Amino acid sequence: MNKKIGVMLLSVVTAAAAIGCGSQGSGGDTIKIGTQTYTEPKIVAEMYKTLIEDRTDISVEIVPDLAASPVVISALKENEIQMASILYSGEIFNGYFDIEQTKDRQKVMEQAQAGFDEHYGFRWFDGYGFENTYGFTVRPEVAEQHGLEKVSDLAAVAGDMRLGVDTTWLERDNDGYRAFAKHYGFEFGQTFPMEIGLVYEAVANEEVDIVLAYTTDPRLKEFDLKVLADDKQFFPPYDGSPVVRNDTLEQHPELADVVSLLVGQIDAQTMTGLNYEVDVNKRDAAEVANEFLKERGLIE
């Protein structure tokens, strides 16, 4: 997944160039909010820009297109940005500090909050209400035909199904196909490796019966696809949260209440729909963000 890409030297150089050297840091009246390259953190950053500037005297600059979540974390650590619009709880599995190996969503979140506070000086807020992780996905008629609501429901029919899947997932040892088959106790009849961006159209066009997709990808809505619940929790939790430097919150204590306004307010269906408006309907991220805030009564 793009959240788990390692920090490459070129990415860091690119990030530094994007951020620039003129940051006022947490001591000024401007804060910088960093985002990754994909749509959902950009939408949420626009929400926070509007909310913060509406409710405080702080100005907000959005720093987009940082290559991956590790680059965002590095920029936060160096105070090149003061806030990340979205980081995901599963980042704890990428070696930032020692953790207890678990897939319990609450325990993963608690470790992210405690660990990044202790080792990095970040406040990792509670989640928005959605995960962006892998999910097995089918057409609605296939789900209805076989009574599919959760992954374990596939056990009786998986042997007759064609799976379209990210090439790298088939090859990974610890969290790939072999580990999945052992965890759930079944395999699919055929597997078709492909680029992750191709799986949505492949299942929609009936070239395969089921695919492994991302759970907030707008193409789920575009092609009217159904994500099955990972009821035995094979995939690590990737709950999205806002993250802010502690010293920024000390300098601007009013900021914490504003950041908290979106906590628990965006579920997976909502985030998918917001991504859809930008990626598929080609609307401006700020316009979509402000429309959401108005619908929720957070701005006039």
pLDDT digits (tens, 9 = 90+) for 95-123: 999 999 999 999 999 999 999 999 999 99
Parse the chain into domains and list their residue ranges: 2-131+238-295, 134-227
CATH topology match: 2-131+238-295 vs 134-227: yes
- Yes or no: say if 271 and 130 are a contact pair by the CB < 8 Å rule: yes
pTM for the predicted model, two decimal places: 0.86
Q: Give the model confidence (pLDDT) of 155-212 as tens digits.
A: 999 999 999 998 889 888 778 999 999 999 999 999 999 988 899 999 999 999 999 9
Which CATH number applies to 2-131+238-295: 3.40.50.1240, 3.40.190.10, 3.30.9.10, 3.30.230.10?
A: 3.40.190.10
Residue 54 has pLDDT above 90, yes or no: yes
pLDDT of residue 26 exceeding 60, the answer is no
Residues written for the chain:
300
Mapped onto helix, strand or coil, the DSSP state of residue 243 is strand
Distance CA 69, CA 94 (A): 10
Q: What is the CA radius of gyration of the chain?
A: 20
Q: Which residue has the tokens 């799986």?
A: 199
Which residues have CB under 8 Å from 101's CB, separation 6+?
A: none
Q: Are 240 and 87 in contact (CB under 8 A)?
A: yes
What is the model's pLDDT at position 17? 42
Residue 240 and residue 130: Cα distance in Å, rounded?
Answer: 6
Partnered with residue 243 across adjacent β-strands are 84, 124
Q: What is the mean pLDDT of the chain?
A: 91
Over residues 42-67, the mean pLDDT reads 97
Cβ proximity of 138 and 225 under 8 Å: yes
| Gap between the Cα atoms of 197 and 236, Å rounded | 21
| pLDDT in the model for residue 22 | 36
The sign of the torsion formed by the CA atoms of 40, 284, 219, 193 equals negative
Summarize the confidence of residues 8-13 as an average pLDDT: 40
Report pLDDT for 135: 95
Helices (H) and strands (E) in the chain, counts: 13, 10
The mean per-residue pLDDT over the stretch 259-277 comes to 97
- Given a cut of 90, is residue 269 above it in pLDDT? yes
What is the pLDDT at residue 172? 82
* Percent helix / strand / coil, the chain, rounded to 5: 50, 15, 35
CA separation for the pair 11, 71 (Å, rounded)? 7
Quick one: fold of 134-227? Answer: D-Maltodextrin-Binding Protein; domain 2 (3.40.190)
Mean pLDDT of 89-98: 94
> Of 64, 73, 124, 69, whose CA–CA distance to 286 is shortest?
64
- Residue 16, pLDDT > 60, answer no
Per-residue pLDDT band at 299 (split at 50, 70, 90): very high
The pLDDT assigned to 175 comes to 82
Q: pLDDT category, 141, cuts 50, 70, 90?
A: very high
The pLDDT of 252-270, averaged and rounded, is 97
Residue 41 or 26, more confident:
41
- What the block records as the tokens of 177 is 């196909």
- List of E strands, the chain: 30-34, 59-63, 83-88, 122-124, 134-138, 162-166, 190-194, 210-214, 226-227, 240-245
User: Which pLDDT score is estimated for 173?
Assistant: 77
